[in-house]
Structure 1
């Protein structure tokens, strides 16, 4: 599951990685939480002159997905994640999987290893980042929800898959990572149907991430400084994660925020 992440890259770094024509200035963000605005990358409508890559652009959307057919979002759970294995068949995500696939830039994400019920041990937060540094692109889905008065809200969810070896001892799910060579295929919703990109929705390579134990400062959304990523001595010994289902593993209505 992905319930918090960070983006500390510069606009110039995003422009270079994603082939953007421009990117507005934005501050480093160390503790991005559901319902907050996030930067996403989408395919533009036309090809960039002189380039064999599709033009892409950056948008600011809300993290938290509400299907377009929902009439009252107050009566529908906010979906921050979507299971990659089942999203194409779920009513909430089916249209977005076919027509509105996006990339979510991040510097890494946060995950918590939670002890077995009644174990008496505190949970342990981890900062999970690319081992080589830089920006990672999570696979995402976008929707525009329209209210009865005509106002619109752009929103997004992050796709998750089975955790790889590095993350598995913390949690059994992790965000889907799209490599740069696959950006164009993932974002191409004109010629690439969901079945054509299922091979991209797999766990990241075993050595892609490293997991660093951190303090519980990240638990509070009001803590937004770089110190929340400082390494601490782990309070829970590394062990396989419990096999019981998490919120991210339930059916459609279970793919919601932890908060």
Structure 2
């Protein structure tokens, strides 16, 4: 799964990496992005890219209660094409969720050790995400979820699941507005090759989502 991540790159680096023309007025780097927070995402409307913020934790358009989002921070890529919450979105509402590392908690004998993980050769990258618009009594709520898959060799010692990090040459295709079937997209995700991942242990300071400072990413020995 993926329950925390970071985005520390400066605005210019993000815009250059993803070809964003607009200003990211609300952008603030974060050492500890958690579910329920606003996350920087990119979609394509058929004419151009749009970067903006969505709440992390998917609330389907048909949901009765937006609190369901706290249970839907991740979606399994192997079954998303079958699930009512994700099937329609896989066909038509795909997004990039921008990050530069993520955290996972490795089970040890007497504790869970937080680890910071990132692609060896990337400074900033995109998770494969799905998004939706929920209309309540007030303003519309835009939310998203991160797609996950079975852990590869780099991750399996830490956790049995991992977020899907899109290769650079597949990002544009992922958010292209072409509407293939959800099953076609499932096969597309199955074919994704993950970049080499590296990791190191960090302090349990990161366990508290209220902590958002450099101590979250400092290596421990």
- TM-score between the two structures when normalised by the length of structure 2: 0.92
- The structure having more radius of gyration, on CA atoms, is 1
Equivalent residues in 2 for 1:36-55, closer than 5 Å: 36-46=37-47, 55=48
**Cα drift, residue 76 of structure 1:** 7.1
Which whole-Å CA distance do the structure 2 matches of 1:195 and 1:34 have between them? 27
Q: Which moved more, 1:3-12 or 1:183-192?
A: 183-192
Question: How many residues matched?
Answer: 219
SS in 2 for 1:96: helix
Task: Return 5+ residue gaps in structure 1 as ranges.
Answer: 47-54, 234-259
Task: Return 5+ residue gaps in structure 2 as ranges.
Answer: none
Could you say which residue in structure 2 is the equivalent of 1:178?
166
SS in 2 for 1:90: coil
- Aligned match for 1:162, one of 141, 145, 150: 150
Which whole-Å CA distance do the structure 2 matches of 1:182 and 1:175 have between them? 15
Q: Which runs of 4+ in 1 moved over 4 A?
A: 201-204
Name the Cα RMSD after superposition. 1.8
Contact 1:68-1:145 within 8 A present in 2 as well: yes
Contact 2:58-2:69 within 8 A present in 1 as well: no
Could you say which residue in structure 1 is the equivalent of 2:213?
225
Contact 1:185-1:192 within 8 A present in 2 as well: no
**Cα drift, residue 88 of structure 1:** 1.2
Equivalent residues in 2 for 1:13-162, closer than 5 Å: 13-25=13-25, 26-46=27-47, 55-74=48-67, 78-115=71-108, 119=109, 121-147=110-136, 149-162=137-150
- TM-score between the two structures when normalised by the length of structure 1: 0.79
Which whole-Å CA distance do the structure 2 matches of 1:170 and 1:202 have between them? 23
Contact 2:119-2:196 within 8 A present in 1 as well: yes
